[in-house]
Amino acid sequence: MSATGELPRSPATGLELYLWLRDHGPSRPEAAVGDLGLDGVQAAAAWAELRALHLVRPGRAPGVVELVDPDLALLGLVRRQHEMLRAQADDWAELVVATQVLMERYRPAAVLDCDRVEIEVITSPARREQTLRDFYELPRNQCRLLHNGSAGTAAQQRLNEMMVGLARMLGRQVKVACVYPRCFDYARRQRRYLTELSRIGVEVRFAPQLPFSLILADQDTALLPPADGASCGALVVIHGGTLMRTFDALHTDYWVSSVPYQPDRDGADDCGAEGSGARKGNGAELSEQHRATLRLLGNGLTDERIARTLGVSVRTVSRLVSELMHALGAESRFQAGVLARSQGLL
């Protein structure tokens, strides 16, 4: 792929070259180019496309290339994407550990005179909930959030409580800006929640993914809530201008690179989280929930992970996959992935 993540665009010459190689078997590149009569630009673009799609590989003889089956190429692409995501997760884990060491061990020894930073870790469930409720009274000018949670039953209750608190802030003329991961609006109740946030005056945006949840009150206080579903998780409360500047820059970075949320106005919310199935037909008739399931399957997620991401049951995910296979005319999940990619759905 190119530096921008896009495939080279040479559909005609790339396909011609692929078909020539399929007919002639392992061959030298110059033989294929000469037989097809491609000029230098066309040949470069065609070879770049086949290499980007991993449809060619070095042959056994020096200077010879051979074809790779499209199914194997697709499987390889999915596997490499999965490995890349796993590496990103490892990088984040290393970053968290390094941050803790820097902030707790080295920075206190190096800083002689700076703003005082106070960090409180709250593990008591009662104190944690009380701190969250009291927090909504703190902001005077602005409140900014990064939300990296799901919308399970317990999380949904917390979201509803958060909406009440945000509404009180808006009533005091406090500006509220929230960033959610793109997958947050894949289920009906989550879309309704976002639509209601927009209606009461919250600025909502989507980012491809977020590292963790974060709530900022002005330039004074930051909250790091526990992950959704972590009943024993700790709530971290941070005060102090020095560390707040870091969190402020983090939120700003995600805010400027995110896209505004557009409330659904065409009745798409009627497709329930446990809602109606895909209509029979081609991929263009798939619902947004089916497309989300398809994308998550393509990223190598299990049914359990997909269910948690979409905020639905595993049984619902199984039904959605069956409907996708029926809609695409596939007899297996792998074939559904191949057909979806050929139709531009992935």
**pLDDT digits (tens), the chain, 346 positions:** 544 455 444 556 888 888 888 888 888 888 888 888 888 888 888 888 888 888 888 888 888 888 888 888 899 889 989 999 999 999 998 998 999 888 888 877 765 545 567 888 998 888 988 998 888 888 999 999 998 875 554 567 778 888 888 999 999 999 999 999 887 776 677 888 888 999 999 999 988 888 889 999 988 889 998 876 555 678 999 887 677 888 888 998 888 888 888 775 444 443 333 333 443 444 445 677 788 888 888 777 888 888 888 878 888 888 888 888 877 777 778 778 777 777 777 6
168, 206: one domain: yes
Q: pLDDT for 310-337, tens place per residue?
A: 878 888 888 888 888 877 777 778 778 7
In a domain, 4, yes or no: no
Q: Which helix (H) or strand (E) segment is 238 a member of?
A: strand 235-239
Q: List residues bridging with 314 in a β-sheet.
A: none
CA distance 78 to 300: 7
Counting the structural domains of the chain, the total is 3
Domain residues for 302? Answer: 271-342
Residue 294 domain flag: yes
- Whether residues 128 and 219 share a domain: the answer is yes
Residue 108 domain-assigned (yes or no):
no
pTM for the full model?
Answer: 0.46
Asked if 142 and 237 sit in the same domain, the reply is yes
Question: Residue 223 in contact with residue 235, Cβ under 8 Å?
Answer: yes
**Do 47 and 154 share a domain, yes or no?**
no
- 231 and 124 belong to one structural domain: yes
- Is 50 found in the same domain as 133? no
In 10 A of CB 174, how many CB atoms? 19
Q: What is the CATH number of the domain that holds 49?
A: 1.10.10.10
126 and 202 inside one domain: yes
Alpha-carbon distance of 59 to 166, in angstroms, equals 62
Among residues 68, 83, 103, the one where a domain terminates is 68
